[in-house]
Amino acid sequence: MSENLARVGWSPAWQAHVAVESALTGVQLTLARVVNVHKSHVDVVGVSDGDVRANQRLAIDGALISAYGEEYPPAVGDWLMLDDERVHALVPRRTLITRPSAGRDSRDQVIAANVDIALVIEPFVPTFSLGRVERLAALAESAGVEPWIVCTKTDLVDDEEISRFRGPLEAKFPHVRFVSALDEETVADLAAEIPQGATMCVLVRSGAGKTTLINLLTGASSAVGAVREVDAKGRHTTTHRQVFATDQFIIIDNPGVRAVGAVGDVGAVESVFPGISQLRCRFANCTHTGEPGCAVRQAMEDGTLDPNEVERFIRMKAEAVRNIARKNARVARQEDRQKTRENQSGRRAMMRNKGR
């Protein structure tokens, strides 16, 4: 893979979609990746003849909406097939990271598409939250994306504080890194682990300060999108999704999330708590709150499970079940409205026919 192609996360698998579609339609199509989404348009970087073209802007019009169909809206990281700079089709997404709406609407909010690795960034200062890490990791797991936990600002706490979280994190996640902006070797070790051509996205709470880490991983000059300065303190606030690129990988930077709700995916929650979900209780639907033969309660009594972790697990799982119910109810309402419209349309057509 050339360095230019690596900078947009290209692989032969994406090109194969274009080759098949071109052969089926008889139209010579090209490939482009979405690097920014705005209200009226998307910015894409094109790939043609083994090289990367400059950014171009595509209007969010009927052709784009038709290409996405039910998967609309567009997401940063999407691949599109273009015909003379017009959207022909959306390349099927391999992964799509979403999060539950913060409001009453049960619609998920799109974060990024076609992501290989989710960097879950959690700083030690002001406070380190295992619960927040677990919730962000569950977002990634729900999309089939591997979460890599990156604990930052280690220079601001002592070794005892780091050790307190190292064990619980490494028991849950295969990839856990502790980094400091003052020790660039820790960041270099993280970068060395990232596979060639990988697409990553950043999942982090609002205001955590991820810009320094991204700059150390990629270099500030590699940003495809803009970074907006909002005060005189040298901090940067990400106001929209943007792409940073290196010759090895790309990072989709996302605005921080203020509130991290549980995903509507019980399996994703269980995957983040393997020490709990792998235990076998007497009853398959055990709630771990008082049923006889509960292996989880027994493990807490034996001291092999942290009661706080069990409490977080039960709470996240209950939220996931509620989110599923909300989404099912919304879908049912949409189907009822659609049936009503179809019935009304049918009755109007019948009345017109009778009047002839």
The CA distances from residue 127 to 139, 157, 205, 235, in Å, are: 21, 10, 12, 19
Contact predicate 18/81, CB 8 Å: yes
Contact predicate 148/213, CB 8 Å: no
Contact predicate 6/249, CB 8 Å: yes
pLDDT at 256: 65
Cβ neighbours of residue 78 under 8 Å, at least 6 residues apart? 33, 34, 90, 91, 93, 113, 114
> Residue 256: which of 216, 213, 196 has the closest Cα?
213
pLDDT at 120: 95
pLDDT digits (tens, 9 = 90+) for 304-352: 999 999 999 999 999 888 887 877 777 677 777 878 887 777 777 777 7
Return the DSSP state at 69: G
Integer Cα distance of 108 and 354 in angstroms: 45
pLDDT at 203: 92
Residue whose structure tokens are 């043609």: 48
Question: What are 188's two structure tokens?
Answer: 């270099």
Contact predicate 324/313, CB 8 Å: no
Integer Cα distance of 333 and 107 in angstroms: 13
Q: Which portions of the chain are predicted below pLDDT 50?
A: 1, 221-237
HSE, CB side, 13 Å, CA atoms: give it for residue 42.
Answer: 27
pLDDT at 240: 62
